[in-house]
A and B are shown apart, each in its own frame.
Chain A
Amino acid sequence: MRNFVEKTGRETIYYVEHAGMMTIFLCSCLIRIFTRPFQLRAIIKQLHFIGAKSVFIIIVAGSFTGMVLGLQGYYVLQRFGSLDMIGSAVALSLIRELGPVLAALMVVGRAGSAICAEIGIMRTTEQIDALECMGIHPYKYLMVPKFIAAIISLPLLTCLFDVMGILGGYFAAVVLFGVNEGSYFQGMYSSVVWADIEMGLIKSFVFGLIIVWVATAKGFFLHLDRSGAFGAEGVSRITTKAVVLSSVAILGSDYLISAILL
């Protein structure tokens, strides 16, 4: 009994401490975004890594998502004889939900894990200590370019995902099933409003922040993780944790944002 109470207390303290540490980390990084110098070169490098290198996977994922929406939409709407809604069904579900969420999950898998592993390896090989000892602040030097790049990249990748999805839906519905091209696009134009696009953008912005926050913080605090692992095994464990945590956080915050904005 006493053990159980003790354990509960210990767990709670650990999680509260951990959450506090991560929050302080986030705030310090965000504040440092606005301090000089602005590392343009490093930001471009990170934009290349997080943004540009994700384009291919976003295009592929976006097109297939759109195609499957077109396909499913066609079979469902056909039963109710409302095939002219297919354009708006595809566009709305992409812009409001699937675009931001799927694009973010793709980036978690591609860039989030890599960022976490990179920072984790830098921690285990004392590269972060070396930075500190050179008088270079690791938040400013390492984290801030990643934060800026992720916050810029995610909304843009989401837009790309949406457009590819709409084209994919066009391919499935219009080219494969012969839905009227005009009704596909016209239904879309008349039903999508700016508020939908705005919602998608807000979501992708928040998701970008979540991805880069979880990845960098998990890697940076690798040595404080409870599993106590260091070295290669620690990096792999922490990367898995970061991917799981950011995916769950993305889906959870997706619900929260939808509930607040609707």
Chain B
Amino acid sequence: MKKKNIEFVVGLFLIASILSFAWLSIKLGDIELFSKSTYSVSARFTSISGLKEGAVVELAGVRIGKVTHIALDREEYEAIIHMEIDSDIALQEDTMAAIRTAGVIGDKFVNITPGGADELITNNGEIEETESAISLEELVSKYIFESE
């Protein structure tokens, strides 16, 4: 009876804490057990300042994917980002990608504005129209110097 009791309590402890672990890693750590099917899209920016791998891709404010890889094009001196987009989201050829900031000091994310073309972007396709990150400092200095 005494031994059974110990085993029960230990079992309870293990289950409770493993559940906590599962919640932490799946919900917060973005570990995907049943990974959704996605397709890959790339985009070029003149500057992505502050965007990180793993950043969110949003369309109309809803999360539709994430940034998987960031690289530099050594000939054009441009940033290339690769994104994984949920496969049930279709993007038109003239879709526009922009880098935005959540709030004034929040995280950078990629904002997608849908286009109107008939053709869709396929797997490993590229979003042609992009708008680079707006840097607060640049805006401020532009304002100051232009007003002079």
B partners with A: yes
Q: Using a CB–CB distance below 8 Å, which chain A residues touch chain B?
A: 44-45, 47-48, 51-52, 55, 82, 84-85, 91, 95, 155-157, 159-160, 162-163, 188-194, 196-198
A-B contact pairs, 26 of them (CB 8 A): A44-B6, A47-B10, A48-B9, A51-B17, A52-B12, A52-B13, A82-B103, A82-B105, A84-B103, A85-B106, A91-B28, A156-B17, A156-B20, A159-B20, A160-B17, A162-B20, A163-B23, A188-B28, A190-B56, A194-B25, A194-B29, A194-B30, A194-B31, A196-B28, A196-B29, A197-B24
Note all chain B residues with C-beta closer than 8 A to A84.
103
- Identify which of residues 103-133 in chain B touch chain A, using a CB-to-CB cut-off of 8 Å: 103, 105-107
Q: Is the CB of B10 within 8 A of A52?
A: yes
Q: Is the CB of B18 within 8 A of A95?
A: no
Contact with A along B56-69 (1 / 0, CB 8 A): 10000000000000
Contact of B16 among A95, A160, A162 (CB under 8 A): A160
Note all chain A residues with C-beta closer than 8 A to B9.
48, 52
Note all chain B residues with C-beta closer than 8 A to A163.
20, 23-24
- Identify which of residues 1-22 in chain B touch chain A, using a CB-to-CB cut-off of 8 Å: 6-7, 9-10, 12-14, 16-18, 20-21
Q: Is the CB of B10 within 8 A of A159?
A: no
Q: How far is the CB of B67 from chain A (nearest CB, A)?
A: 12
Given the known A-B contacts A52-B10, A190-B56, are A197 and B25 also in contact in the complex, defined by CB atoms under 8 Å? Answer: yes
Closest 9 CB pairs of A and B: A156-B17, A52-B13, A194-B29, A192-B28, A163-B20, A159-B21, A159-B20, A197-B29, A160-B17
Rounded to whole angstroms, the CA-CA distance of A55 and B11 in the bound complex is 12
Q: How far is the CB of A200 from chain B (nearest CB, A)?
A: 8
Q: How far is the CB of B22 from chain A (nearest CB, A)?
A: 9
Q: How far is the CB of B63 from chain A (nearest CB, A)?
A: 8
Q: Using a CB–CB distance below 8 Å, which chain B residues touch chain A?
A: 6-7, 9-10, 12-14, 16-18, 20-21, 23-25, 27-31, 54, 56, 103, 105-107
Rounded to whole angstroms, the CA-CA distance of A14 and B148 in the bound complex is 73
Contact of A162 among B13, B14, B24 (CB under 8 A): B24
Tally of contacts, chain A with chain B, CB under 8 A: 72
Rounded to whole angstroms, the CA-CA distance of A51 and B16 in the bound complex is 11
Closest to A188 in B: B28
Rounded to whole angstroms, the CA-CA distance of A85 and B103 in the bound complex is 10
Rounded to whole angstroms, the CA-CA distance of A82 and B23 in the bound complex is 26
Contact of A160 among B10, B20, B29 (CB under 8 A): B20
Closest to B14 in A: A156
Question: 14 new A-B pairs (CB below 8 Å) besides A52-B12, A189-B28?
Answer: A47-B10, A52-B10, A159-B17, A159-B20, A162-B20, A163-B20, A163-B23, A190-B107, A192-B28, A193-B30, A194-B31, A196-B28, A196-B29, A197-B29
Rounded to whole angstroms, the CA-CA distance of A160 and B56 in the bound complex is 28
Note all chain B residues with C-beta closer than 8 A to A157.
17
Rounded to whole angstroms, the CA-CA distance of A157 and B108 in the bound complex is 34
Q: Is the CB of B10 within 8 A of A55?
A: no
Q: Is the CB of B28 within 8 A of A95?
A: yes
Note all chain B residues with C-beta closer than 8 A to A189.
27-28
Q: Is the CB of A156 within 8 A of B18?
A: yes
Contact of A156 among B21, B30, B107 (CB under 8 A): B21
Q: Of A45, A52, A55, A197, which is in contact with the most chain B CB atoms at under 10 Å from its CB?
A: A52
Rounded to whole angstroms, the CA-CA distance of A190 and B30 in the bound complex is 9
Q: How far is the CB of B17 from chain A (nearest CB, A)?
A: 4
